[in-house]
Amino acid sequence: MKKTHLLLAGAAAFAALFGAIGATATSLAAPAKQNAAAASAKNAAGGGEKPQVAFKVEGAGVNRADKGRVTSYADMLARVTPAVVTIYNQQIVRDRAAFDPFEHLFGGPFGRSRGGAPGGQRTVQGLGSGTIIHADGYILTNRHVVSDADASVAKKITVELADKRTFTATVIGSDPRTDIAVLKIEGRNLPVARIADSGALRVGDIVFAVGNPLGVGMTVTSGIVSALGRQTGILNNRREGVAGLENFIQTDAAINPGNSGGPLVDCEGRVVGVNQSISSPNGGNIGIGFAVPTSLAISVAGDLVNDGKVTRGYFGVATQEVDEKLSKDLGLPSLKGALVSEVVEKSPAEKAGIQPGDTIVAVNGETVERPASLTFIVARLKPGAKARVDLYRDGKRKTVTVTVGSRQETATFETLFGGAVEFAELNDTLRERHGIPRAVRTGVVITDLSANSVLAEAGVQPGFVIVAANGRPVSTPDALLEVLRKGQLNRLRLYIPRFRAFRFITIEL
């Protein structure tokens, strides 16, 4: 955990500050002295004593019986804070290149270090927050609370409740596009937070950020909803070319390191968001914080718990913003909407008759403000569902029905492999990125993995392709999952791009 230092400004700065304050105080005091002197002279002339100035101080506390005025949120917060937990994690970060058991098979020295000490590793402590959202012990938090950007998922995760009970937690799953993760603890009489639909929020609503910032202990800060539907780009994965799915709630409630994963709560004590990040020039809170809305977070959590992966809707369109010139040329009533610049061949959008030049303004009655809004709305749709799409074409509004497709995502499995391992179906983009030849027709590409996973310990690296498992060819992450045997030895046939060769390994899950 990083140490936090409280820094004082330099002596010169304080001297200048207090000098200015002193000068101001002197200038303000001069009229007062003149008035006092005049009053004294008047009293002296009249022979009376100098009158004493009395300041009125009310001894009673605030009127808590006044139902028309809110004087405290203590009772409301008392209902939600027991369900807010502190998450301690221990990450063992290894040099991935430090040990390569495949190298000796191809003429290199066994276990040679490339850019790091053999077997080099270091232990990193982490701190975050989370919320118990189900009596069975499911905890909602951020993915980055339990793993770093390199997918080195924590080896040990401990959860501490407000009543000081501690549990060892298991990672059920995580989603890098939304930075949402679900943990599970085994316990009885667990407090559960209420959850509200973040779609009802308005700018100006009072909200509270709850968590354990900087390890000082459970802390509540307050503010308002400053903005809705923010995109910051913080979740974009440039390495894999995947855009984050962002629709943040912006708030000025103080969010600091350690608050990540904790709840953003409305004035009724219901969770409306998951605190995720801040915007700051110096790393400290300046009143610009962001939270993942529950409308997205709970949907992702449900998929992870029930299906082990996140399934998102897909239309198959590329879109762009509408500016004033385009709006006028296309005969649009406003600048809202997502202008279709490309339609993917044989996609759900093409089958529904959507064309380049169409401007999508609503999906199932939900307004599309901009292209990012369309991405967010479609992602929440279930594959196979019928979506009503309102659009403008040649200045006229029309409605089409799109049968929602399924977006090909990277699947992340953590519990099975003892650490996060991300897989994706082999495609042209991955072929080019990792140098996989056409001779490898199908397979499951390992796009990332944590250092503690059984695959990493076996020497597997990103870019390796699993072409068969236990003697059966596999072409998708789901197909791989179906043939793996938990608690037994599993034989994998891998293609290793760096050596342009196939090899077998065995792993025990």
Q: What is d(CA 237, CA 346) in angstroms, rounded to the nearest whole number?
A: 27
Q: What is d(CA 399, CA 396) in angstroms, rounded to the nearest whole number?
A: 10
Q: Distance of CA 1 to CAs 4, 258, 456, Å?
A: 9, 10, 25
Annotated catalytic residue within 152, 198, 226, 260:
260
The two structure tokens encoding residue 258: 């350690």
Question: Catalytic residue at 75?
Answer: no
How is 124-178 classified by DSSP, letter by letter?
Answer: EEEEEEEEE-STT-EEEEEHHHHS-TT----SEEEEE-TTS-EEE-EEEEEETTT
Pairing of strands 405-406, 317-320: unpaired
Phi, psi of 29 (to 5 degrees): -75, -25
- Which H or E element spans position 328? helix 324-330
What angle (nearest 5°) sits at the alpha carbon of residue 269, between those of residues 310 and 146?
40
Question: Catalytic residue at 104?
Answer: no
User: What single-letter DSSP state applies at residue 237?
Assistant: B
Annotated catalytic residue within 175, 179, 252, 448:
179
Question: Catalytic residue at 260?
Answer: yes
CB 329 within 8 A of CB 189: no
CB 260 within 8 A of CB 145: yes
The two structure tokens encoding residue 113: 């270090």
Q: Distance of CA 123 to CAs 39, 100, 155, 171, Å?
A: 73, 21, 10, 19
CB 245 within 8 A of CB 260: no
Q: How many CB atoms lie within 10 A of CB 91?
A: 24
Contacts of 18 (CB under 8 A, 6+ apart): none
Contacts of 43 (CB under 8 A, 6+ apart): 49, 50, 51
Annotated catalytic residue within 100, 129, 144, 299:
144
Three-state DSSP class for residue 396: strand
CB 239 within 8 A of CB 462: no
User: What single-letter DSSP state applies at residue 284?
Assistant: S
What phi-psi label fits residue 114: left (phi over 0), alpha (psi between -120 and 50 degrees) or beta? Answer: beta
Q: Which residues are catalytic?
A: 144, 179, 260
